[in-house]
Structure 1
Amino acid sequence: MNSRQAEILLFSVIAARSTSYTFSKISIHALPPLELLGIRFLLSSLLLCILFHRKLVRIGREEIKGGILTGLSLFACMACELVSLTMIPASSAAFLENTAVLWVILMGAFLKRKFPGLKTIFSMALVITGIGCLTLKGNEISFSAGELICLAGSIFYAVWILLTGYFAKRAEPISIGLLQMGVMGVLGLVFSFLLEIPVPPVGLSTWASLSGLILLCSVFGFTFQTVAQKYASPEMAGFFAAAAPMMAAFFSWLILGEAMTWIQLAGAGLITVSLVLMQRSEKEKQEKEISLLSSGECTGKI
C-alpha cells in the first residue's frame, strides 16, 4: 500500500467514525444511552473476536490490565457522550469532545513537568474562545448540563488516549482493543439494568443506526485505522484527526438537519484550527527530541 492509498483509506476510516455522533443521536431516541453503549460494544467485540480470534490465544497480564483500564476510561467517555447527546446537538458534542487533544497535551506536560510551549498556549486560547462561541446563548456564555457532561467526557477521552499510548508499547494493541470493547459492553449493560429501564431495540431506523455504529464506526474503524496510519504520512493523519469534528458536524447537518449559527460555526472553526496547530506543535517537539537523541545532545539527561 502506497501513502496515497493509505491516506484515502484513513480519510474513509475517520469519515466513517465521524458518523458515530449522528447514529448515536438517532439510536438514543429508541434506546437508553447505557443500553445502547452495551449493545454496540458487546456486538462489536464479538465480531472482532471472530476476525482476530488468534490474538486471543496470546493474551497475557499486560493485555488484560490494558484492556480493563482503557475500557473503563473509554466507557466513562462514551457514557458522557451519549448522555450529552440527549441534551445537545450532535455537532456541538463532536467539537466539545475532541478538545481532548488539549487535555492530552496539558496532562502530558504535567506528568513530564515541562512547560507546554507558547504554540500550545496559543492553541489553548483558541480552544477556549471556540468553546465560548459554541456555548454562547444570546449575549451570555453559559454551559448547559449537556455541554458540561460532554466536556467531562473529553477529559476521560484524554485519559484513554494516554493509557492507550502507554499500554500499546507494552502489550499487543489489538488484544487490548478487543478486551476494551468487551469491558465497555459488559459495563454498559450492567449499568443499564441498574440505572435505566432497558427496552428491546425495535424498528428499522434503530437497527440501521445500530448497524452503522457497530459495522462502520467500530469494526471498520478499529480494523483499518491502524493499517492506514502505518502507511499514511503523519501530517495527513494529524490533519484528518483534527478535521474529524467538522466531518461529524457535516453528517449531523446532512442527516439530522442540525444547523449551526454563524457564531457557532466560528467557534467550530477556531477549535479545528487549534487542533491542527496542536498536532503540528506536538510533531515538531517529537522531531526535535529525535534529532537531539540522534546527535547525542540528550545523553546527559537520560
Structure 2
Amino acid sequence: MNIKNSIQTERGAEILLIFVLVARSTSFVMSKVTMNAMNPFNLLGVRFLLAFLLLCIPFGKRLVKIKKQTLLKGLLVGLAFFCVMTAELFTLRLTASSTSSFLENMAIVFVPIFEAVLLHRLPAKYSVAGVLISMIGIGFLTLEGGRIVLGTGELIGILSGILYAVAIIITDRLSHNDDSLLIGMVQVGTIGALGMIASFLFEQPTLPQGQTSWLMVIYLAVVCTGFGFTLQPVAQSRLTAERAGLLIAVSPVSSAIMGSIFLKEYLGISGMIGAILVVGGIIISKDPFHKKAQVSS
C-alpha cells in the first residue's frame, strides 16, 4: 500500500496535514496529565519508541529494504524534530503553556522568511497577508494580558519556533521524490531513541505506572505519534514548505478547543475571534480572488 500515491492532489495533502496537526495538538492534554507521573524525556522516549514498534507491524518489511539515502533523510528529519521538541520542553518548564504555544507557532512567520532567503524571491502578497492575519489570530487564542515579557523561557520559545520552521523546510526538501512514509517511520524511531538517551543522561527513566498512564501513553503513541508524526512527511511531499508552515496555525486552534473541553480552560470571546482569524488567514493565503478571476476569464 503506497500512502503517498493515495494523496494525489494538493487539496488532499492539505486535508491530511490538517488531520495530522489536529492529532498532534491533542497531545497537549494527554502529555500534561501524563507528565505528572513521567519525566519529559522519559515520556518522549517511551511514546516514540512504542509508536515505532507498532509501525513496524504493518510496514516492517518495507523498513528492512530501506535505501541508505532514505534512512539518512529520516535520521535528519528526526534529529530536527527532536531539537524542536527539546526546545518546547524547556519553554513549557519556564513559561505558561499559552505563551509557549504562541512562540512555537511563530514558525508560520519564519517559514516564508527562510524560504524567501533560500529561493531568492519574496513571498506572494496573499501569503504574507495570510501569515499576518493568522499570527494575530494565534495571539488572540493564546496570549493573556496582551503581552509577552522576554525572559529565558520566552527566548527558548522563540528558538523553538525557529527550529520548527527549519524542521518544516528540511522535511519539505527531503520528502519529495522518496518514500516519505519510511522517512516518517525513521523520524519517529530517531526521536524515540534520542529521547531515551536524554532520559538516561538527565532523568531516571521508568515505564508508565498504572492503567491510566498506560492508556494515555498508548494514545500518544498511536494517534499523536504513529499517525501525527509519521504522516507529516507524506502530506508535505505534495505541498510547499510555505504552505505547510501556514497550515500549522490550526494547531493552537485545536489545542484551545481541546483545553476548553477536557481541561475546562475557558476559550472566551477572544479565543473565538482568534480561531476565526486563523482560519481566515489560511483561506486568504490561497489567493481565492485571483483563482476566481482566472476561472471566470
TM category (shorter chain) comes to 0.7 to 0.9
Which residue of 2 is the match for residue 37 of structure 1? 44
Which residue of 2 is the match for residue 292 of structure 1? none
Which residue of 2 is the match for residue 19 of structure 1? 26
- Give the distance between the partners of 2:253 and 2:141, measured in 1 at CA: 13
The answer to whether the Cα contact below 8 Å between 2:77 and 2:187 also exists between their aligned partners in 1 is: yes
User: Which of 67, 76, 79 pairs up with 2:74?
Assistant: 67
Change (3 A) 1:106 1:17: same
Give the deviation of 1:230 after TM superposition: 10
Which residue of 2 is the match for residue 85 of structure 1? 92
Which residue of 2 is the match for residue 248 of structure 1? 255
Matched, 1:206 2:174: no
* Sequence identity percentage: 36
User: Which of 156, 181, 184 pairs up with 2:188?
Assistant: 181
- Give the distance between the partners of 1:171 and 1:229, measured in 2 at CA: 12
The answer to whether the Cα contact below 8 Å between 1:37 and 1:79 also exists between their aligned partners in 2 is: no
Which residue of 2 is the match for residue 110 of structure 1? 117
Letter in 1 for 2:113: L
What is the correspondence of 1:1-302 to structure 2 with a 5 Å cutoff?
A: 10=16, 14-88=21-95, 90=97, 93-126=100-133, 129-130=136-137, 138=145, 140-143=147-150, 145-221=152-228, 242-260=249-267, 266=273, 270-278=277-285, 280=286
- Give the distance between the partners of 1:123 and 1:12, measured in 2 at CA: 20
Which residue of 1 is the match for residue 241 of structure 2? none
- Give the distance between the partners of 1:17 and 1:262, measured in 2 at CA: 25
Letter in 1 for 2:71: I
Runs (4 or more) in structure 1 with deviation over 6 Å come to 223-231, 237-240
Q: After the TM superposition, which of the residue ranges 41-50 and 167-176 deviates more from structure 2?
A: 167-176
Unaligned segments of structure 1, at least 5 residues: 232-236, 289-302
RMSD over aligned CA atoms reads 3.8
Letter in 2 for 1:195: F
Letter in 2 for 1:165: D
The answer to whether the Cα contact below 8 Å between 2:187 and 2:230 also exists between their aligned partners in 1 is: no
Q: How many residues align?
A: 276
Unaligned segments of structure 2, at least 5 residues: 1-5, 239-243
The answer to whether the Cα contact below 8 Å between 2:180 and 2:234 also exists between their aligned partners in 1 is: no
The answer to whether the Cα contact below 8 Å between 1:97 and 1:150 also exists between their aligned partners in 2 is: yes
- Give the distance between the partners of 2:211 and 2:228, measured in 1 at CA: 23
Change (3 A) 1:90 1:258: farther
Change (3 A) 1:269 1:79: farther
Give the deviation of 1:111 after TM superposition: 0.2
> Any idea what SS the aligned residue of 1:198 has?
coil
